[in-house]
Amino acid sequence: MVYGGIQGGRIEVICGPMFSGKSEELIRRLRRAIIARQRVEVFKPGIDTRYADDEVVSHSDNRLSATPVANARQLLDTVLLRTEVVGIDEAQFFDEDLVEVCDTLANRGCRVIIAGLDLDSRGRPFHPMPALLAIAEVVTKSQAVCMVCGAAASFSQRLTGGGDQVELGSSERYEARCRRHFEPEETRQLELLRARQAVLRVPRSE
C-alpha cells in the first residue's frame, strides 16, 4: 500500500456501525506498531466510560491502555512530540476541532489512526466523522452482523432511550441491523404516534 505524506504522516479512518470490529481493528493496528517499536499513544474521549476510564476496550474484551481527554485541543496539548503513531477511538464523541488536530498531527509526520461511528442511531452522519473520512488517506468501512436476519449490518439500532444523538450504551441499548431491518428512531416514534392515533379513532364495540 502506498500512503505518501510528510515523512510517513497520514490519516487512517476505521468506520462502521456498533459491533463491526472498529475497536478490534484499531487495537490490532496499534499492537503491530508497538511490535515494530514505534512510539504509540492512544486517546479516547473522557465521556466514554462504558468499560474502562483508561483503556480502549472492544466488545470481545480486547484492551489497550488509553488516555482519556476532554476535547480535541486537550488531545493535541497532551500528545508527546516524539510520538509516531496516534490512535483515537470513539472519534464521533469529539468536537469538530478533531479534524484540524488530526491534520496537524499528520502534517507533523504522525500516523493517525481513528475509529468511530459514521452514522448515528437515526442513520445520519455523525460529526466530525464525515470531515475525517474526507481528509483521510485510507478509509476502512467495516460491517457487523444484523441481529434480525444475519446479513451484513451497517446501522446501529437504538433499542431503548430518548432522542439524543449521544447516549452511551452497549448491547443492552443498541444492536447492529442491516438496511432492511434498521428502523431510524424518528420513524419508530412516528409509527408509535400513528398507532396511538389509530387506537383513539377506533370506535368501541360495547
Q: Could you give the residue numbers annotated as active site?
A: 90
Q: Which of residues 86-145 bind ligand ADP (CB under 6 A)?
A: 144-145
Print the SS3 string covering 137-198.
Answer: CEEEECCEECCCCCCEECEEEECCCCCCCCCCCCCCCEEEECCCCCCCHHHHHHHHHHHHHH
Shorter beta-carbon distance to ligand ADP: residue 11 or 144: 144
Give the 3-state secondary structure of residue 112: strand
Shorter beta-carbon distance to Mg ion: residue 23 or 142: 23
Instruction: Give min distance, CB of 140 to ligand ADP, in A.
Output: 11
Q: Which does 34 bind (CB under 5 to 8 A by kind): Mg ion, ligand ADP, none?
A: none
- By CB under 6 A, is residue 157 in contact with ligand ADP? no
Instruction: Give min distance, CB of 137 to ligand ADP, in A.
Output: 21
Query: 14: which residues sit within 8 A by CB, 6+ positions away?
Result: 22, 25, 26, 113, 114, 115, 116, 140, 142
**CA pair distance 43, 96, nearest whole angstrom:** 16
Shorter beta-carbon distance to ligand ADP: residue 154 or 185: 154
Residue with cell 468501512: 141
Residue with cell 444492536: 175
Strand 40-45 and strand 85-88: the pairing is parallel
Looking at residue 123, its amino acid is G
Q: Which of 40, 132, 176, 178 touches ligand ADP by CB under 6 A?
A: 176
Over the window 22 to 61, marking each residue x when it contacts ligand ADP by CB under 6 A and - when it does not, the resulting string is: xxx---------------------------------xxx-
Over the window 13 to 52, marking each residue x when it contacts Mg ion by CB under 5 A and - when it does not, the resulting string is: ---------xx-----------------------------
Give the 3-state secondary structure of residue 175: strand
Give the 3-state secondary structure of residue 10: strand
- By CB under 5 A, is residue 156 in contact with Mg ion? no
- By CB under 6 A, is residue 64 in contact with ligand ADP? no
Interface positions with Mg ion (CB under 5 A)? 22-23
Residues that bind ligand ADP (CB under 6 A): 16, 18-24, 58-60, 144-145, 147, 176
